[in-house]
Amino acid sequence: MDPKPRIADQTVRAGQGDLTVSIMRLASNDPFDFDIVAVSMVLHHIDESEKLLPKLLARLNEGGSLLVIDWTSEHYGVPEKTSLAHGHEHTHNDSRTIVSNHLAAHTISRLGFDEDEMVDMMENAGFIQVEYRLYGERSNMGKEIGGERQMFFARGKRPVSK
């Protein structure tokens, strides 16, 4: 609860921009200096997601954090639980794929990131104190886009200049 009415109007802001353009070509009013940048279910749609991370780093204040929420590689994470007709649960880690006739299938560049890849990508982009955590259970994404999927949270900080 906010003890001061309308303080959020003064301290919270969000921005939308095109991160595919060069930082040198950005308009002076494009958003920078964020304490937190969050991208949820975005990176698996980006062809070269490792090139996006330095651009997100540049948007942060020193000491600011990037939060990435996305899905893991298929072989990684909490096993899928399936209740079968004979009345007991099994766990499955079988491969799932995006169904090719789904409307969003053509926008998927990859099926996820494991911990080593994500940490390496973030550290190579300049983030420090990178952490990667699995969500405690699989999420149902619908059969048309692969069924149950494992989500992760990754966080990294922009270094503070000395």
Which pLDDT score, from 0 to 100, does residue 45 have? 76
The third-level CATH classification (topology) of the domain covering 31-72+108-142+149-155+157-161 is Rossmann fold (3.40.50)
Q: What is the pLDDT of residues 59-97, one digit of tens each?
A: 899 999 999 998 888 655 555 554 434 444 433 433 345
143 C-beta neighbours (distance < 10 Å), count: 11
Which pLDDT score, from 0 to 100, does residue 46 have? 82
3-state percent helix, strand, coil for the chain, nearest multiple of 5: 25, 30, 50
Which pLDDT score, from 0 to 100, does residue 124 have? 97
Is this structure's pTM higher than 0.75? no
Q: Domain residue spans in the chain?
A: 31-72+108-142+149-155+157-161
Q: What is the pLDDT of residues 46-59, one digit of tens each?
A: 888 888 899 999 98
Q: What is the pLDDT of residues 96-141, one digit of tens each?
A: 455 556 666 677 766 788 899 999 999 999 999 999 998 888 777 7
H or E element that contains 154: strand 151-157
Residue 24 phi, psi dihedral angles, 5° rounding: -65, -25
